[in-house]
Copies of this chain bind each other. A is one copy, B any other.
Amino acid sequence: MKKPAPNLAPRKPDYEKALRKAGIRVTRPRKVILNILRETEDHPDALEIFRRAEQVDKSISLSTVYRTMKLLEEMGAIHRHAFEGGPSRFEQAGGDHHDHLIDIETGDVIEFRSDRIEQLQQEIARQLGYDIVHHRLELYGRRRRAE
């Protein structure tokens, strides 16, 4: 009998295990959605996740996608981003914190990180007498034309 190779994949935490441990059922739709999230590099919205899920399991419903996104968000397994205008878009959690630059022409999302900005935010909040619970920094821009 062949022994399964140890899972060495980076940035692909085993949420199924976490779900079971939390007493939450690992159902067929959830597996499908989890797989999609695990493999995606971009920031799809619920409808896009639904479309991708359909290709794997025709019977999945959009409401289940929404319910699962909410569940995973509450578990901390994913992050929800409400970029300007459009619907919420999701991203698997687990990587380190970053902010987003949104290409206003294509909708593409570029992740970036600035410790300096994070630090300044802390200072500002402290001066105003607040503790930051979370924050949102989004840059909306267009690609500079290489002339």
Contact = CB atoms under 8 A, between A and B. Distances in A.
Contact of A138 (B126, B135, B142): B135
Interface in A95-127: 101, 103-104, 110, 112, 114, 116-117, 120-121, 124-126
Given A84-B136, A136-B138, A129 B143 contact: yes
B124 A114 contact: yes
Counting every copy of the chain, the complex holds: 2
B136 A141 contact: no
Interface of A: 82, 84, 101, 103-104, 110, 112, 114, 116-117, 120-121, 124-126, 128-144
A133 B128 CA distance: 28
A147 to B, nearest CB: 13
B116 A129 contact: no
Contact of A139 (B104, B135, B143): B135
B136 A121 contact: no
A45 B132 CA distance: 24
A31 B64 CA distance: 47
Contacts of A134: 140
A144 B139 CA distance: 28
Contacts of A144: 126, 129-131
